[in-house]
Structure 1
């Protein structure tokens, strides 16, 4: 069976980016014991990532690079904020380099990287940590199956065999 809409895909991958010198830098991986399992075509994955996997079969290996625009976007120079230090009075003050969870006025959760700590404010970068970076993927398709009715109605995979707790 080949990868198409409404199939559950299990795959391995290694993700790299490139640094300023153009050298590849390892980011993360999923191996066969901890494969990435997802319902294809539901918008859970980057669209261009899925596009590269369309019509692949079990055992196929893949390797491709997504531009920053096709990944997590370019860095938005306006996506920085200064938070009042008193926001952290009930928790430990973060350190520069920490990634902290935040919530906007509409209840949306996101993460921000701490860039500086000043006397009264904590400066954060609201860009995705992978913004502005090309993403280099390589891996292998290890399973493809039809999605169950439950998975289709829930909009996500229930594990490699379709029976994982959700």
Structure 2
């Protein structure tokens, strides 16, 4: 079995949609995106491009939307009753406004994020597609570090992914499915936390 690698990368992420290119995220060398290979915390297509590169290697690759966050699905745009967004009987107008990303939970207790598209008189229109759905992702950057992960680092990442205490991965925001499920759920750690 291949060993787990502790990898940090600095990159700029561009989306390419309908021929339009836009920078949506940057992980700088002084605060790189960090992940451990083989744990499923990043997009598989992203990890496959990076895992065999060495420290200092530069990269420029594009992941098609089908291997990233999929196509934009119209049926993932849903209308929810306004009263589910009430706190103490009062609609949460501060949080529930157009363009905001809101954490929700489905009937099985799974956490997901939705983007508020429109607030109507008695309903809220939510887009449950990933913010990068429908876009090809172009990553341009370089490998800051690529080495064997220690057992402690691997265990720390597993603990974080399973909610078993602390974030040992150096993210700013570990609440969105782990380092690398950018996940920039923007998903937290520089990678739309990629996953």
Band the TM-score falls in, shorter-chain normalisation = 0.7 to 0.9
Question: Which entry has the higher C-alpha Rg, 1 or 2?
Answer: 1
Q: How far did residue 110 of structure 1 move?
A: 1.2
User: CA 1:5/1:139 → structure 2, altered by over 3 Å: closer, same or farther?
Assistant: farther
Q: How far did residue 123 of structure 1 move?
A: 0.9
CA displacement 1:57-112 (0-9 Å, x = unmatched)? 11100000011011111112211221111112215221222211111122211111
Alpha-carbon distance in structure 2 between the residues aligned to 1:85 and 1:92: 9
User: CA 1:158/1:26 → structure 2, altered by over 3 Å: closer, same or farther?
Assistant: same
After the TM superposition, list the runs of 4 or more consecutive aligned residues in structure 1 that deviate by more than 6 angstroms: none
Matched residue, 1:97: 99
Q: How far did residue 126 of structure 1 move?
A: 0.5
Q: What is the total number of aligned residue pairs between the two structures?
A: 156
**Residue of structure 1 aligned with 2:84, choices 84, 87, 98:** 87
Q: How far did residue 154 of structure 1 move?
A: 3.9
Alpha-carbon distance in structure 2 between the residues aligned to 1:155 and 1:92: 34
Structure 2 gaps, min length 5: 159-166, 171-195
Matched residue, 2:54: 57
**Residue of structure 2 aligned with 1:30, choices 24, 27, 30:** 27
| CA RMSD, 1 decimal | 1.8
Matches within 5 A, 1:66-85: 66-85=63-82
Matches within 5 A, 1:111-130: 111-130=113-132
* Higher RCO by CA contacts (8 Å cutoff, separation 6 or greater): 1
Structure 1 gaps, min length 5: 161-166
Alpha-carbon distance in structure 2 between the residues aligned to 1:41 and 1:13: 20
